[in-house]
C-alpha cells in the first residue's frame, strides 16, 4: 500500500455554506478546521491560532491571508506560514477536495496535524 492510498477524505461542509469571500469553522472530532473560500479557491487550515488558543473564524480575511483577531498575526492561506509576529509556528494546512457539492480534506488516518 502506498502512502497516497492511505489518505482518507474527511467531509467538512457543503460548498454553498462557504460562498466566495467567506470562511466557516468545521468540527472534525475534537479538532476545528477553518474552511476559506478565496474567490472560488478553497483552503483549509487548523481552526485555532498557532500562537494561543483563539478561533480563527473570529479573524478577518486579508487577501490571500487570514489575520487572527487576538494579536493580529497574519498567516498565508497557501502554506500556513506566519507573515507577522507574534505567531512563529505555521498553521497546519490541509489539501482540499471539492466533490459533489461537498468540501473535504484529504489527510492521513488518525488525529489531524495541528501546530500549537
Give which of 48, 47, 41 is closest to 15, Cα–Cα: 41
Verify binding: residue 52, ligand FES, rule CB under 6 A: yes
- Closer to ligand FES by CB, 10 or 68: give it: 68
Question: Which string of x and - marks every residue 78-107 that binds ligand FES (by CB under 6 A)?
Answer: --------xx--------------------
* CA separation for the pair 89, 13 (Å, rounded): 27
Q: Which of 35, 30, 38, 31 is nearest to 14 (CA)?
A: 35
Q: Which is nearer to ligand FES, 54 or 97 (CB)?
A: 54
**Using the rule CB under 6 A, is 73 a contact of ligand FES?**
yes
Stretch that binds ligand FES, among 4-12, 16-24, 46-54, 100-108 (CB under 6 A): 46-54
Q: Is 76 in the site for ligand FES (CB under 6 A)?
A: no
Q: How many other C-beta atoms can be found within 10 angstroms of the C-beta atom of residue 61?
A: 15
Grid coordinates of 103 = 468540501
Q: By CB neighbour count within 10 A (0-12 exposed, 13-18 middle, 19+ buried), where does 79 fall?
A: exposed
Under rule CB under 6 A, which residues in 24-43 are in contact with ligand FES? none
Query: What is the binding site for ligand FES (CB under 6 A)?
Result: 49, 51-52, 54, 68, 70-71, 73, 86-87
Amino acid at each position: 500500500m502506498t502512502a497516497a492510498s492511505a489518505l482518507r477524505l474527511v467531509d467538512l461542509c457543503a460548498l454553498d455554506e462557504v460562498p466566495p469571500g467567506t470562511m466557516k469553522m468545521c468540527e472534525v472530532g475534537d479538532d476545528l478546521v477553518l474552511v476559506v473560500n478565496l474567490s472560488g479557491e478553497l483552503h483549509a487550515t487548523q481552526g485555532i491560532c498557532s500562537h494561543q488558543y483563539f478561533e480563527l473564524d473570529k479573524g478577518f480575511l486579508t487577501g490571500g491571508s487570514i489575520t487572527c483577531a487576538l494579536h493580529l498575526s497574519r498567516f498565508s492561506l497557501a502554506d500556513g506560514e506566519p507573515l507577522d509576529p507574534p505567531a512563529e509556528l505555521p498553521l497546519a494546512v490541509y489539501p482540499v477536495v471539492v466533490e459533489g457539492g461537498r468540501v473535504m480534506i484529504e489527510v492521513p488516518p488518525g488525529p489531524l496535524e495541528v501546530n500549537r
